[in-house]
Amino acid sequence: MKVGVFDSGLGGLTVLKAIQEVLKGAELFYIADTAYAPYGEKSVEEILKRCDDITRYLLETHGIEALIVACNTATSAAIKHLREKFPFLIVIGTEPGIKPAILKTQTAQVGVLATPTTLKGDKYQLLVNELANIKHVTLYEQACVGLVEQIEKGETHTKKTFEMLEKWLMPMKEKNVDTLVLGCTHYPLVEETIKRIMGNDITLIQTGDAIAKHLMCLSQNKGHKNEGELLTHVCYTGEINHLMIEKIINNKTIKVRKCAI
């Protein structure tokens, strides 16, 4: 099984790590599209074209059988297009974990951190509307402009990142938010900082594990035997923080190189 995974940068590595923990006998090809990061501040048309180009590259260069769109913003903009254009691929997207947050909250106060494009997207709005009848909760949505760039620079524990998160999170804390949806695959990388502000009792909802389990299920339905060696390749299109790659994945066997897409 050859699996392509992509994001605008380092964030999707949190999904890749979850896949690595359950998948065997496969080859993973991760694209960090840093030349076009961040997606969250691009137009839908720009994101759509980029997703199309990356999928074609993964198909033509590596012959992938499954595609993981490890980015909430790209999923919102392009997942329907990708499934229609490449019906022979397993295509799995990423969406904010609103449903598990609704089910887990005890105070009925739920925070959502995401990029501006994700929060404005039709897919997110439809998801919220569909889940509204499960249980009455109040959602506090926050567009985290600039946070992805801080994480890409490796500034996960700096004063500036702390102050950005504090400005966004303190109003939620005052409203008794007990469950926080990390609506971008980059945001688990500032989990420690979030807990410093919100307290260790905060429930954080991320989607990497759910994506990995879904991939396992769909790949086995296509006859994949989950046995043997797992190979991982990381490609990047612009500049990238190599220390952050090592910090997130912590696997010396990964091959990292620059590619042109």
Record the tokens describing residue 127, joined without a space: 């998801």
Q: Which of 71, 144, 217, 235 is catalytic?
A: 71
| Strand locations in 35-137 (E) | 66-69, 90-92, 109-114
Q: Please give the Cα distance from 188 to 65 (Å, whole number).
A: 27
* Catalytic residue list contains 217: no
Closest CA to 239 of 69, 39, 51, 33: 33
Q: Which of 51, 144, 184, 235 is catalytic?
A: 184
Closest CA to 55 of 118, 3, 18: 3
Ordered DSSP codes for 4-57: EEEESSSTTHHHHHHHHHH--SEEEEEEE-GGG--GGGS-HHHHHHHHHHHHHH
Closest CA to 114 of 127, 129, 131: 127
* Catalytic residue list contains 259: no
Q: Please give the Cα distance from 148 to 74 (Å, whole number).
A: 14
As annotated, the active-site residues are 71, 184
